[in-house]
């Protein structure tokens, strides 16, 4: 039975170490090699899988790939299938625990599906980038059994079909004795390379429409801020995280409910959401971060003075790098040499640092 999550102040104190910059044993080259292997295996339609629409054989192939990788790392792995209401096809979440016997859990998640091949996408940016980074972080943390908490890696199915995997996962938690009370944070990785800049967000201060997910909506920003601070210390300026400025409907640094973090925030879990985009562009619906790049190839015509389309009535492309023909590794590498590798390496470094140094002080256990 689900219990409303207690606010952290009385029961759980979160703290972060005042860390110094570590000379990591997993250097940038090592990280980029691992992350690129996963990226190719997931998004390359010839050497790997390619487009993997929810419920398709290709999505299942991705589920198998992720499950096998997690098992090879020695994690405790389970596959959680669910049915897509629209067409009765089956998707699944792949869940892998680092230290399953610990009381508290930090979740790192990325969706494993993509839009279908019919739209021209191979799901490279959205979201092989997030999935590859998550697998790399798991691999780098696989021997950290001494951490005082569990790290749970979740590859979520059917995000593009309506955030179905995340909703199923959260509802299942609420329906079981596990509940969300002991989940300290959820970090969502979606489209984390390819866009012009790296951003980190917290949940919107106005609660999302949570539907049938019950809980005490959580818009705390401490996970976002911790990731932001780590990026400032570890990462060179070009790939440091940005907190987006306030714009109409979206106060500074908060995000909408359009990705897998939303059901978690609804159930009371503090979230952070990492993505690449460009909030300085005046896109189709204003400054909402839905135009990811100023690169002229991604626009019918981009006006660099107004940071918008030359002709807002005629523009059809709007600088979008996901869901359609630009969402392919070869195209993106041509447009932005080395960008994907550099952005993914930066995020892997930040996440490894965050997940290795998080401190939980549980006053009720004393």
Residues that bind Zn ion (CB under 5 A): 126-127, 190
CB 242, min distance to Zn ion, A: 19
Cβ(169)–Cβ(175) below 8 Å: no
Residue whose CB is less far from Zn ion, 97 or 327: 327
CB 127, min distance to Zn ion, A: 4
CB 301, min distance to Zn ion, A: 27
CB 323, min distance to Zn ion, A: 9
CA gap 260, 244 in Å, rounded: 19
CB 264, min distance to Zn ion, A: 15
Cβ(100)–Cβ(150) below 8 Å: yes
CB 123, min distance to Zn ion, A: 8
Nearest to 108 by CA among 155, 141, 153: 153
The three-state secondary structure class of 241 is coil
Residue whose CB is less far from Zn ion, 136 or 188: 188
Residue whose CB is less far from Zn ion, 12 or 66: 66
Residue whose CB is less far from Zn ion, 121 or 179: 121
Phi and psi, residue 280, nearest 5°: -85, -5
Residue whose CB is less far from Zn ion, 189 or 309: 189
CA gap 45, 36 in Å, rounded: 15
Nearest to 193 by CA among 343, 359, 4, 313: 343
Residue whose CB is less far from Zn ion, 7 or 258: 258
CB 113, min distance to Zn ion, A: 9
Nearest to 87 by CA among 60, 117, 56, 64: 56
DSSP assignment of 198-210: EEEEEE-SSPP--
Residue whose CB is less far from Zn ion, 12 or 110: 110
The angle that helices 339-357 and 222-234 make with each other, rounded to 10 degrees, is 120
CA gap 20, 234 in Å, rounded: 9
CA gap 181, 167 in Å, rounded: 17
């Amino acid at each position: 039975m689900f219990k409303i999550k207690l606010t952290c102040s009385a029961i759980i104190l979160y703290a972060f170490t005042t860390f110094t910059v570590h000379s990591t044993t997993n250097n940038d080259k090592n990280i980029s090699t691992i992350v690129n292997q996963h990226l190719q295996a997931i998004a390359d339609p010839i050497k790997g899988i390619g487009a993997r629409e929810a419920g398709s054989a290709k999505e299942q192939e991705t589920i198998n790939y992720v499950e096998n990788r997690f098992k090879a790392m020695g994690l405790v792995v389970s596959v959680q299938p669910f049915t897509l209401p629209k067409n009765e096809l089956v998707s699944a979440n792949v869940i892998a625990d680092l230290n399953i016997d610990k009381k508290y859990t930090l979740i790192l998640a990325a969706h494993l599906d993509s839009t279908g091949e019919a739209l021209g996408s191979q799901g490279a940016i959205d979201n092989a980038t997030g999935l590859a980074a998550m697998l790399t972080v798991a691999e780098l943390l696989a021997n950290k059994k001494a951490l005082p908490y569990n790290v749970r890696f979740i590859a979520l199915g059917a995000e593009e079909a309506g955030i179905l995997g995340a909703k199923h996962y959260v509802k299942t938690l609420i329906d079981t004795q596990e509940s969300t009370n002991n989940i300290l944070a959820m970090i969502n990785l979606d489209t984390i390379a390819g866009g012009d800049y790296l951003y980190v967000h917290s949940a919107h201060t106005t609660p999302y429409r949570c539907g049938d997910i019950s809980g005490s909506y959580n818009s705390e920003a401490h996970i976002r801020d911790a990731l932001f601070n780590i990026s400032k210390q570890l990462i060179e300026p070009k790939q440091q995280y940005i907190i987006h400025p306030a714009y109409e409907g979206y106060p500074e640094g908060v995000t909408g409910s359009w990705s897998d973090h939303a059901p978690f925030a609804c159930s009371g879990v503090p979230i952070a959401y990492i993505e690449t985009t460009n909030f300085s562009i005046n896109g189709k619906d204003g400054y909402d971060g839905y135009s990811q790049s100023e690169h002229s190839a991604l626009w019918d015509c981009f006006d660099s003075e107004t940071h918008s389309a030359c002709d807002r009535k005629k523009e059809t492309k709007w600088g979008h790098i996901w869901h359609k023909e630009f969402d392919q590794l070869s195209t993106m590498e041509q447009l932005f040499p080395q960008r994907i590798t550099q952005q993914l390496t930066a995020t892997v470094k930040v996440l490894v640092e965050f997940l290795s140094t998080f401190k939980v002080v549980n006053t009720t256990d004393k």
